[in-house]
Amino acid sequence: METNVIYCGDNTEVLRRHIPDNSIDLIYADPPFFSNRQYEILWGDGYELRAFEDRWKGGINNYIAWMKPKIAECRRVLKETGSIYLHCDYHASHRLRELMDGIFGEDNFRNEIIWYYRRWPAGREQFQRNHDNIYFYTKSSEGIHTFNPQYVEPTPETLKRWGKQKQRVTFDKKGKRKPTIELKEKSKGVLMPDVWEISIIAPSAKERLGYPTQKPEALLERIINASSNSMDIVLDPFCGCGTTIAVAHKLGRRWIGIDVSPTACKLMAKRMRNIGLAQVKTIGLPRTVEELKALQPFEFQNWVFEKLHGRVNPRKVGDMGIDGWVELDVPTQVKQSEKVGRNVIDKFETAIRRYGKKKGVIVAFSFTRDAYDEVARVKLLNEMSRLEIKLKTVEEILKTT
């Protein structure tokens, strides 16, 4: 089994195909939250739009049915000494707890960890929602799982209760008596509770990558330190922007990241290179026409603009059919379809004129004869204004990049 690798694909299939039984020490799973929200963000390099809908036709039952085989595969690949942390929130936490009990067994439940964070108030009809739930399960109930106790700094009040301290009297600069507490013996602190106060990532934080559901590295550091040891294998089946694998690498663990989004996988690889990996192996990125046809529309669009060194149009409403630009400022339209016809050319010609441009590019899997005839007609009728539309097929892009 390969480690320190990123897989692009559906995690159920990747786990079945590439990850053997009883091989993983720790899993952190942060799936979509069933939030009924749409996330969309344009990353700084311009050609990548990250968009996904956390909406589920058929409601919560379909969401749980979607999650069930994924959690079952996670249990299969865990070692007997392994642990899984499932991150969720109030939208589906009650149903996910039932699912975890059914797959891992109620006896293997260890903790419901509350990740508490501060944020600005929103609404006054209920108490402020300031926490996520993280369910900690082990594969075995026999007490053989890896667990390294974590500690928090003791307060003076706690030290007094322990009876392990002595008082040492000192005086400040004004001569005022100032008692301090000293431990008689070295202590690691107080055993960590199951409520963790860790700040969400600030908008200006160095670690922020613009990913809409990005988790702080401090949260993953705590989980990985607690439930794995040096050179253990850490798996994240919903890896997103790669926080889990980045922290695992920094802490001396081996790692495997999985995500269905090619855009996310490329971001992960870039993040790992930025922390010192010269080579990052990514398996499963689309490389054929059939694989590109199967992509989500925004993923296909990202692929086109990356290959053509262009940038995505951040406007999705009122964009007049312009999906982005190549060659600095040439309007470009992307069609994830075959046999794009004359009507598309006509509409795109109008959009180019409104933008005041002389060139345009349409990318598709194939075009009809009428489409090529219309492009020739536009060029002939506009020789004076030099208006030109180029038709580029996906196959051509694959051959030249």
Residue 130 pLDDT > 60, yes or no? yes
- Does 173 share its domain with 315? no
Q: Residues of the chain with pLDDT > 70: what percent?
A: 82
- Does 269 share its domain with 307? no
Residue 188 covered by a domain: no
Whole-number Å distance between alpha carbons of 332 and 326: 7
Residue 31 pLDDT > 70, yes or no? yes
Residue type, 167: Q
Residue 121 covered by a domain: yes
Partnered with residue 324 across adjacent β-strands are 312, 332
Q: What is the pLDDT of residue 342?
A: 94
How many structural domains compose the chain?
Answer: 3
- Does 128 share its domain with 59? yes
For the domain that residue 260 is a member of, what is the CATH number? 3.40.50.150
Q: What is the mean pLDDT of residues 127-148?
A: 93
Q: What is the pLDDT of residue 63?
A: 87
Q: What is the reported pTM?
A: 0.82
Nearest to 364 by CA among 400, 339, 390: 339
When comparing pLDDT for 271 and 125, which is higher? Answer: 271
Query: Which pLDDT band, with edges at 50, 70 and 90, does 185 fall under?
Result: very low
390 burial type by CB count under 10 A (0-12 exposed, 13-18 middle, 19+ buried):
middle
Task: Kindly give the pairing relationship between strand 324-326 and strand 311-312.
Answer: antiparallel
Beta-carbon contacts of 163 under 8 Å, excluding residues fewer than 6 positions away, are none
Range of the domain at 303: 290-400
Partnered with residue 50 across adjacent β-strands are 41
Q: Residues of the chain with pLDDT > 90: what percent?
A: 57
Q: What is the pLDDT of residue 45?
A: 47
- Does 78 share its domain with 198? yes
3-state SS of the chain is CCCCEEEECCHHHHHHHHCCCCCEEEEEECCCCCCCCEEEEECCCCCCEEEEECCCCCCHHHHHHHHHHHHHHHHHHEEEEEEEEEEECCCCHHHHHHHHHHHHCHHHEEEEEEEECCCCCCCCCCCCCCEEEEEEEECCCCCCCCCCCCEECCCHHHHHHHCCEEEEEEECCCCCEEEEEEECCCCCCEECCCEEECCCCCCCCCCCCCCCCCCCHHHHHHHHHHHCCCCCEEEECCCCCCHHHHHHHHCCCEEEEEECCHHHHHHHHHHHHHCCCCCCEEECCCCCHHHHHCCCHHHHHHHHHHHCCCEECCCCCCCCCCCEEECCCEEEEECCCCCECHHHHHHHHHHHHHHCCCEEEEEECCECHHHHHHHHHHHHHCCCCCCEEEEEEHHHHHHHC
Q: To the nearest whole number, what is the mean pLDDT of the chain?
A: 86
Question: What's the farthest any 2 CA atoms get from each other in the chain?
Answer: 95
Of how many residues is the chain composed?
Answer: 401
Nearest to 222 by CA among 85, 72, 74: 85
Q: What is the pLDDT of residue 143?
A: 85
Residue 137 covered by a domain: yes
- Does 63 share its domain with 157? no
- Does 385 share its domain with 246? no
Last residue of a domain, one of 254, 284, 314: 284
- Does 362 share its domain with 323? yes
Q: What is the mean pLDDT of residues 265-284?
A: 93
When comparing pLDDT for 59 and 352, which is higher? Answer: 352
